[in-house]
A = this chain, B = another copy of it.
Amino acid sequence: MKYDLQLCIGSRLRRLSRIADGHFRSKLSEFNITENQMTILFVLSKMGKVEQGKIGQSLILERSTVSRNIKLLEKQNYIKRTSDYRPEIELSKEGTELVQTLIPLWEETMDELISKLGEDGLTHLTALENSFN
């Protein structure tokens, strides 16, 4: 055996992502929103009015994942979209307000995680990302 099976990079990253998600999710329990949807709202908050496809490009999410999330967010009136086949998406007033509510919670979670990861943690994470690109 060249490597120990415990070293599997796939299962380790899956686990890390489950842990991080759990932290964010625990802050979201009172909102009818998932971590992933929060991320999409944040991206929209940054990008303003954009084609749906841009969201996936920005987060490297599959088209279908974006499509379904957009539908869920629209159902809750957090986003508006034009009726084109390739719609343009933007936050609604409610969505903008929700983002303002979520940001402090998100920041708390980031504080929590960064205090766990330590100063170097983010550096390690960035290093991993850079090598994967």
Contacts and interface: CB of A to CB of B under 8 A. Distances in A.
A108 to B, nearest CB: 10
> Is chain A's binding surface mostly helix, strand, loop or mixed?
helix
Interface string A3-15: 1011111111111
Contact of A59 (B9, B11, B21, B114): B11
A124 B122 contact: no
Interface residues of A, number: 51
Contacts of A18: 60
Given A2-B107, A14-B36, A121-B127, 11 more contacts: A5-B106, A7-B110, A10-B24, A11-B35, A13-B17, A13-B21, A15-B129, A16-B16, A117-B132, A121-B131, A124-B128
